[in-house]
Structure 1
């Protein structure tokens, strides 16, 4: 079956790890809704708690239209979201990157390294300090802003479009940020978004909420199935999610074997 715009759907699902045509450019770029694409849509629907039909119903399209984190849900065919669990009906939980990468050291330094000043630099650093304090409060980590005498473990900054890593930004909307698994220590934010460092307006993204999510990735958490969890992949404009939820805390405790 051929449908207009299907090639854009294929690109979306490929970007987030659901679909691969293994270099077959013809099928990857045409508008044919084939069996492989239907299977990818079903996996996406399963991961996001949608009706698993393989068709593009309104709820599926609405979910795909949400601005989101650029970290793929599935990497190298592996996921610990709902579709990667043996019992798809089990309680949805946090997930980790493949291989459970994590930090062996507990004293981590961070630093803003990009030269783009998208928001006030003092306000950005204050947000980062608050976010790291929230993760420190539920873990064994200590965090400090690196000075000139220390190399940071976590490097943070705003970038635009193709900025030299494997994941391009896409301008306003779409991908808000991306962060690599431990121990890469790289956390990037899209400079073309309309960011808020205070209470966001209806057309602004709350920077503190997004940073809280991305630092979860920097510590080793992947995306969560749980509605309301900080580690959910999507967040809308005007929305604040500034407090870690039980699923986020349970996830980081499990990864680092921290007792409650």
Structure 2
């Protein structure tokens, strides 16, 4: 379930239309929308005031990075103040972006990208430098016997015409299988929607769960943590299974999104590893299907490893790359610490 804290904030301060996610209906409008964001906000930092920044703050509030104004009668301002700077820094750190505290190109590119609707709430989580995957608060998981068996079903009343239902079924079967390869779990489709463990459907706008969809290339989907078992996708998106047959520049890969949302259903929150399945954003016509070691380590920490799971060559390469990255971070931290120590010694020497 989304954090109860978020529901309280949502009820007290319901978000309105976000400038960072004005609803485009075509790829051209999406491109114009992105240019507007970059032109207006690029390079903005603390101490500046710019029209529209209050709407951008609503985006940060929506995904758990910025608390609402302390006074309920007040609204967000257009001032780039200290609180917003901290929110930007936290956003950059949480999503593995260069940390500048400003609305630089990397940050604005991420803000304007389609993404999952599950918020990060970084204040409720503590990431170690070598552990980039994350969980929901209190680490909920499915409490079933091992190997675990979960059933899933599709809503007959909340379905789209394209792709066809049989194609959607095949996509989700493959997506569930990716997770069952690495953990001792089986996922079986059932026709009994009411009694299925996982319920899947496509919805438009406000569909009654407090998480309204916002149209094409905004929030793509969201899923609830164990053991709620709800997976909702935005019916307004141009969902694609094969990009060779779907030519739209706004097409979104259904299998990539399904694989990501199943990770939430199983208990994983978002990661800061950009290449991982559980990273929150997915660009149009991008495919992100294969679980990375970050995804695998996170889910196996909850459920254990499938006894038949074996590392592939690509995963072994992923481990090596991650190790090099961690070693580089440790080395950089040591250099910074040594530099500060030398400066401190020199200052003490000069004082003496």
Q: Do these two structures clear the TM 0.5 threshold for a shared fold by scoring above it?
A: yes
Shift of 1:237: 0.8
| 1:44 to 1:112, Cα distance in 2 relative to 1, 3 A | same
1:223 aligns with 270
| Structure 2: gaps of 5 or more residues | 1-47, 310-352
| Structure 1: gaps of 5 or more residues | none
Shift of 1:118: 4.1
Check conservation: 2:96, 2:273, Cα contact below 8 A: no
Check conservation: 2:183, 2:304, Cα contact below 8 A: no
1:31 aligns with 78
Check conservation: 2:95, 2:271, Cα contact below 8 A: no
| 1:180 to 1:148, Cα distance in 2 relative to 1, 3 A | closer
2:224 aligns with 180
Q: Between Structure 1 and Structure 2, whose CA radius of gyration is higher?
A: 2
Cα deviation 1:212-248 (Å, max 9, x = unaligned):
0000100011111112101110110111112212211
State the distance in 2 between where 1:115 and 1:55 align. Answer: 41
Check conservation: 1:21, 1:27, Cα contact below 8 A: no
Check conservation: 1:41, 1:54, Cα contact below 8 A: yes
State the distance in 1 between where 2:241 and 2:253 align. Answer: 7
2:252 aligns with 205
Matched position secondary structure for 2:200? strand
1:109 aligns with 151
State the distance in 2 between where 1:27 and 1:57 align. Answer: 28
Shift of 1:27: 5.0
Instruction: Give the TM-score of the pair, scaled to structure 2.
Output: 0.68
- Indicate yes or no: 2:120 matched with 1:78: no
- Indicate yes or no: 2:167 matched with 1:123: yes
State the distance in 1 between where 2:193 and 2:222 align. Answer: 27
Point out 4+ residue stretches in structure 1 off by more than 4 angstroms: none
Instruction: Give the TM-score of the pair, scaled to structure 1.
Output: 0.90
| 1:38 to 1:54, Cα distance in 2 relative to 1, 3 A | same
Matched position secondary structure for 1:175? coil
Check conservation: 1:109, 1:145, Cα contact below 8 A: yes
Check conservation: 1:118, 1:191, Cα contact below 8 A: no
Shift of 1:23: 5.6
Please report the RMSD computed on the Cα atoms of aligned residues, expressed in angstroms. 1.9
| 1:55 to 1:112, Cα distance in 2 relative to 1, 3 A | same
Pick the structure with more helix per residue. Answer: 2
2:333 aligns with none
State the distance in 2 between where 1:149 and 1:7 align. Answer: 42
1:132 aligns with 176
Equivalent residue pairs, number: 252
State the distance in 2 between where 1:108 and 1:237 align. Answer: 31
